[in-house]
Amino acid sequence: MTSPNPKTFVKCSRCRQEAVIGKTMCARHLQKRSDYQNQRNSTRQKLGKCFDCSAPNRPGKAHCESCAQNHSRRGVERNLFIKKTVMLWYGNRCVCCGELEISFLTLDHIKDDGAAERKVSSTERGRAGSVIYYRIYKQGEYKKPNTLQILCHNCQWGKRIYHGFCSHHPEIDLRIIYAK
């Protein structure tokens, strides 16, 4: 009998029982922590204090100015990390012109069927673009949809305006050639 892989078998940091997959605590201690945090935040909200640091919060908000800026910065960093990871899985460059700058790259629906996906995802969380990256990230590298490709903004608009053809390579139909 082989022993479990230490990276997949984690013990609870409090009671040493088997932890929930992807967490460092068992289900009982995760629930206790969640209950404590909810009760603490409810108390702080009633007192008009920041959920994180107990400083006076902004009127009608859950956090003080400093903590709100930290949350915003961390959210931007997290979204950029997720975008870079997903882009790496898809090749990290524009399939048409070879552009490498991450800020210029976008995910493109090869068969131009993204409108239906945006309708579904926009009702889930509000911002369709980041939701698509997040959903792919959660699915993992080996379960990513093969209906997407990377295009830079220029090639994306070229494909849209010229009905599947980019100005870089007008002989290549981007709706067909890169489809898997």
Average model confidence (pLDDT) for the chain?
82
The answer on pLDDT for 29 being more than 80 is: yes
Same domain (yes/no): 83, 28: no
Q: Is residue 175 part of a domain?
A: no
Q: Is residue 92 part of a domain?
A: yes
165-177: pLDDT as tens digits = 777 777 777 776 5
Same domain (yes/no): 83, 153: yes
Same domain (yes/no): 145, 97: yes
Which range of residues forms the domain containing residue 92? 76-161
The mean pLDDT of 123-136, rounded to a whole number, is 68
Listed residue (20, 24, 16, 174) closest to 94, CA to CA: 174
**Residue type, position 114, single letter:** G
The mean pLDDT of 111-127, rounded to a whole number, is 65
Q: Is residue 70 part of a domain?
A: no
Listed residue (143, 113, 117, 144) closest to 128, CA to CA: 117
How much is the pLDDT for 118?
Answer: 66
Same domain (yes/no): 87, 156: yes
Alpha helices in 6-127 (DSSP H): 27-47, 65-89, 114-125
The answer on pLDDT for 122 being more than 60 is: no
43-74: pLDDT as tens digits = 888 888 888 888 888 888 888 899 889 988 99
Same domain (yes/no): 36, 99: no
How much is the pLDDT for 132?
Answer: 80
Same domain (yes/no): 157, 80: yes
How much is the pLDDT for 4?
Answer: 45
Residue 47 and residue 58 in contact, taking contact as beta carbons nearer than 8 Å: no
Instruction: Give residue 2's pLDDT band: very low, low, confident or very high (50, 70, 90).
Output: very low
- If one counts the domains in the chain, the total is 2
Q: Is residue 49 part of a domain?
A: no
Report pTM: 0.66
